[in-house]
């Protein structure tokens, strides 16, 4: 996903882009930012001026701990395994949500997307 800093942090309206330059809206931006590897790139037009280091939202050790605690998707039902799951931040990462185990839940990709689209809620 490529998104402007101001859009990512909700300081300006706008969209982002994924893969084949498809435009995505705020809910999809929040979804992709929830469990991701982020890298800051500063540009001046088409020239890259600076690239920051990559920041992972959940470390491999945290993902292992979440797999042990949650055992897979936390939404009751199909019981999708941890390897199919994302680490969801209860408070979105872009809103300052902490990447602490207590602040994250494992969700399979479909349930994770449904939650960010507002058609599913965690109890």
Report which secondary-structure segment, H or E, holds 107. strand 104-108
Give the count of residues interacting with Zn ion (CB under 5 A): 7
**In the complex, least distance from residue 52 CB atom to Zn ion, rounded to whole angstroms:** 22
**C-beta contacts of 35-40 below 8 A and 24+ residues apart:** 35/86, 35/87, 35/88, 35/89, 35/112, 36/1, 36/93, 40/5
The verdict on 113 binding Zn ion (CB under 5 A) reads: no
- CB-nearer residue toward Zn ion: 22 or 78: 78
Q: Are 58 and 66 in contact (CB under 8 A)?
A: yes
> CA 105 to CA 116: how far, in whole Å?
13
**In the complex, least distance from residue 2 CB atom to Zn ion, rounded to whole angstroms:** 19
Task: Show contacts with Zn ion in window 22-81 (CB under 5 A).
Answer: 34, 73, 75, 80
**In the complex, least distance from residue 45 CB atom to Zn ion, rounded to whole angstroms:** 33
**In the complex, least distance from residue 103 CB atom to Zn ion, rounded to whole angstroms:** 11
The verdict on 108 binding Zn ion (CB under 5 A) reads: yes
- CB-nearer residue toward Zn ion: 15 or 80: 80
Interface contacts to Zn ion, rule CB under 5 A: 34, 73, 75, 80, 88, 108, 111
């Amino acid at each position: 996903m490529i998104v402007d800093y101001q859009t990512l942090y909700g300081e300006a309206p706008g969209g982002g882009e994924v893969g084949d330059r498809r435009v995505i809206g705020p809910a999809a931006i929040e979804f992709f930012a929830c469990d991701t590897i982020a890298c800051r790139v500063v540009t001046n037009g088409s020239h890259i001026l600076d690239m920051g280091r990559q920041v992972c939202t959940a470390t491999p050790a945290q993902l292992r701990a979440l797999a042990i605690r949650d055992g897979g998707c936390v939404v009751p039902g199909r019981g999708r395994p941890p390897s199919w799951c994302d680490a969801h931040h209860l408070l979105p990462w872009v809103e300052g949500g902490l990447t602490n185990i207590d602040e994250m839940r494992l969700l399979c990709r479909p349930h994770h997307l449904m939650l960010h689209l507002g058609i599913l809620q965690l109890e």
